[in-house]
Chain A
Amino acid sequence: MRTSPVKPEPARSPVAATLLSIAPGLGQIYCGQYKRGLAILAVLLAQIGVAVMAGMPAASLWLILIWLWNIADAWGLATGRRGSPAIPIVVLTLLNLALCWRLSEIGTQIRQVDLPSGLANARNLVSALAQPDVLRTSDLQTADANLIVTKSEVSGRPETFEKRRPRLNLIPTDKGRITAAGRGFAPGAQGAVYLRAGGDKKLADVATDRSGAFRVTFANPIRLPGSYWVQAEVKKPLPLLQWRMSDTLDQSLKLMRETVFLAFIGTAVALIISFPLSFLAARNLAAQIPAGWLLYSVTRSAFNILRSIEALIIAVVMAIIVGIGPLAGALALSIHGIGALGKLYSEAIESVEHGPIEAVMSTGANWLQVVRFGAVPQVVPQFIAFTMYRWDINVRMATVIGLVGGGGIGNLLYSYINGLQWEKAATAIWLIAIVVMLMDYASAVIRERVV
């Protein structure tokens, strides 16, 4: 946008631009800044979408700040000055930080990693990878009945308080046998009749006929008098167009989102703290201030120390300090990230061209101004690339931290594996792989574009 030459433009009326910009972006479009206008509109809509998705639509009220900035910006453009987008960037970052924070505050338990092991389990898991639980291709139809057993007789009473169509009748026959008769089910479907008492007990397999009815006889399983719950379950195959995500996939997606947000928080906090410090940790800039070498040594060593401690270890330590849960995970990613990002940032700053910095110094600028006008513009693309890269790494780290109780998809994967639910575990594993690959790809694309 900045590289396009400015054509001599007809004068715009600042009043018209201001009024038009009440609709976000329109004022900018009126001033000939189409991309800027559309970007403002798109960002606002997208952000509202995210807020609604995150279940905090009221947070969108903060976007009023951006809306006000948008009006000021339109007025500025009409009077021939292009303002900096710093305000919307700061608002968006903080807002998303808050959203993510809320979203990932789901209480979870830390526990010792104690997963089923052994070759057989590994084989189960590997073969499950070929058939992850991702689709719901059938609907479960159920009908209930009570089996009432007294000393003298056995009788059945269908549950009718729900106006569901499928019905189950239990008819005692001779020789202590019971006939279960169902109707109103999907025609030509498979199912079974269960005794729901303590552990489930399958009484008989059933298959419905063309009218959706079945009839099956089995031995009375009951010895003690009482009222027992019997349920018929029929799998109604869904037509292709009505196939849905399985509950497992739905759950995995929700927790994957939590993990990505946890990674986002870790990255954003690390960014906010390491960004200003990294200029002190760069030799070329630190040299320009009194006691600069001291600040340099302190910040650089701090970065190096933080960077060298594994996030997983920090997570365990944090769990002791702040308690178990996502907060510990987010802190771990943030603290480790400060070191990792700070080191990358400060090395990028040290490799900038010195000429422009000297030139800005020679105008009488103070240190902050030299940083802002001489160094920052030179490092922006690299900073964006490093930050994306960090987020990408953090998604992976957050998954692992989740395994030891930091919440998110790692947590879910743990419980699936522990419950020997291999198809479900496979779903989570596939999802992690796909998201990590996508993040990898996206960060590569963005890096290529900005550098």
Chain B
Amino acid sequence: MALDIAQLRKVYPDGTVALDGIDLLVPDGQFLAVIGLSGSGKSTLMRCINRLIEPTSGTITLDGIDVTSANRQELRRIRGQVGMIFQQFNLVKRSSVLTNTLAGRLGYVDTFLSLINWFPSKDRELAMLNLTRVGIAEKAEQRADTLSGGQQQRVGIARALTQKPKLILADEPVASLDPATAHSILDYLEQANKQDGITVVCSLHFLSLARRYADRVIALKAGKIVFDGPPDEIDDTRFKEIYGEGAEEVEVT
């Protein structure tokens, strides 16, 4: 899915300008990393794309469909095609892993049947398939809060994949995980990108991770894009521009 953002601004009610005129074109099938200091606007950008946050001005289009002017029903249809992965995993703790994963089908199934927790068997199969894919099928009936952080994020990925998305928005998906686990999670995202051709927009704290996984990196600073290019173009000077003087790059291996 191609993403086209034009002149996007977000001003929070308290006056904070979180996004200040973002122009961004992401072609179908790209793995885009979004980097930047804390508070630079990464989360705000991600959440504007599926309108979990209402943009103040500007337009966002997905495969030519205008997200910013969509009505509620259209917005739900768009959201169904956009998977989202969160730093805090955001699983429903008291629900089973399978129920959490099946939530990915909610945009597609009959409302009444879903309310009594009835999902078509092909949806259940799809959810199980995605759980198998991220290696936790055997935990399907377990409560989500009995899982480790890494496992929970894998459920988060399975939930997003179960949407059969054309775009995945991942907001610092590995920021609260250890480096080894972080790699395994990003490997799944890479797989979704390379094998299934899903466009991925992923914000990351560590440049080294962006270097390893992304086709392209944009850097945000105070709500503006200050770098846009392939990861290997970010040299020391650029790095200092993005993260400020005195910053050192750390490797995540």
Q: A84-B117, A355-B88, A365-B76 are in contact. Are A360 and B93 (CB under 8 A)?
A: no
B84 near A359 (CB under 8 angstroms)?
A: yes
The answer, yes or no, to whether A372 is at the interface (CB within 8 Å) is yes
Please name the residue on chain A nearest to B128 by beta carbon.
Answer: A80
Q: How far, in Å, is A72 (CB) from chain B's closest CB?
A: 11
Interface size on A, residues (CB 8 A): 33
B90 near A5 (CB under 8 angstroms)?
A: no
Q: Which of B50, B77, B86, B108 contacts A355 (CB 8 A)?
A: B86
B141 near A360 (CB under 8 angstroms)?
A: no
The answer, yes or no, to whether A380 is at the interface (CB within 8 Å) is yes
The answer, yes or no, to whether A364 is at the interface (CB within 8 Å) is yes
Q: Which of A84, A360, A365, A377 contacts B116 (CB 8 A)?
A: A84
Q: Which residues of A contact B93 (CB under 8 A)?
A: 353, 356, 377-378
B124 near A373 (CB under 8 angstroms)?
A: no
B106 near A373 (CB under 8 angstroms)?
A: yes
B141 near A373 (CB under 8 angstroms)?
A: no
CA distance A3 to B146 in the complex (A): 8
B95 near A377 (CB under 8 angstroms)?
A: yes
Q: Which residues of B contact A82 (CB under 8 A)?
A: 141
Cβ contacts B150-186/A at 8 Å (1 or 0 each):
0000001001000100000000000000000000000
The answer, yes or no, to whether B6 is at the interface (CB within 8 Å) is no
Q: Which residues of B contact A290 (CB under 8 A)?
A: 72
The answer, yes or no, to whether B142 is at the interface (CB within 8 Å) is yes
Q: A6-B140, A363-B79, A364-B80 are in contact. Are A377 and B107 (CB under 8 A)?
A: no
The answer, yes or no, to whether A81 is at the interface (CB within 8 Å) is yes
Q: A363-B80, A373-B103 are in contact. Are A2 and B96 (CB under 8 A)?
A: yes
A361 near B52 (CB under 8 angstroms)?
A: yes
A81 near B124 (CB under 8 angstroms)?
A: yes
Q: Which residues of A contact B77 (CB under 8 A)?
A: 364
The answer, yes or no, to whether A247 is at the interface (CB within 8 Å) is no
Q: Which residues of A contact B114 (CB under 8 A)?
A: 369, 372-373
Please name the residue on chain B nearest to A380 by beta carbon.
Answer: B94
Interface size on B, residues (CB 8 A): 47
B143 near A3 (CB under 8 angstroms)?
A: yes
The answer, yes or no, to whether A325 is at the interface (CB within 8 Å) is no
The answer, yes or no, to whether A374 is at the interface (CB within 8 Å) is yes
Q: Which of B84, B94, B103, B118 contacts A365 (CB 8 A)?
A: B103
Chain B CB within 10 Å, residue with most, of A84, A359, A377 = A359
Q: Which of A6, A358, A365, A366 contacts B138 (CB 8 A)?
A: A6
B116 near A366 (CB under 8 angstroms)?
A: no
The answer, yes or no, to whether A86 is at the interface (CB within 8 Å) is yes
B111 near A373 (CB under 8 angstroms)?
A: no
The answer, yes or no, to whether B104 is at the interface (CB within 8 Å) is yes
Q: How far, in Å, is B13 (CB) from chain A's closest CB?
A: 13
Q: How far, in Å, is A348 (CB) from chain B's closest CB?
A: 13
The answer, yes or no, to whether A83 is at the interface (CB within 8 Å) is yes
Tell me which residues from 189 to 220 in chain B have a Cβ below 8 Å from any Cβ of chain A: none
Q: Which of A356, A360, A368, A377 contacts B115 (CB 8 A)?
A: A368
Q: Which residues of A contact B83 (CB under 8 A)?
A: 362-363
Q: List 6 A-B contacts (CB under 8 A).
A: A2-B142, A3-B146, A359-B90, A359-B103, A366-B106, A373-B103
Sample of 9 more A-B contacts, CB < 8 Å, known A369-B114, A373-B103 = A5-B138, A358-B86, A363-B103, A363-B105, A368-B115, A372-B115, A373-B95, A373-B114, A377-B99
Could you tell me which B residues sit within 8 Å of A by CB distance?
50, 52, 72, 76-84, 86, 88-96, 99, 103-108, 111, 114-118, 121, 124, 138-143, 146, 156, 159, 163
| Pairs of residues from A and B, 8 with the lowest C-beta to C-beta distance, nearest first | A364-B107, A364-B80, A365-B106, A355-B90, A359-B90, A364-B79, A362-B84, A84-B117
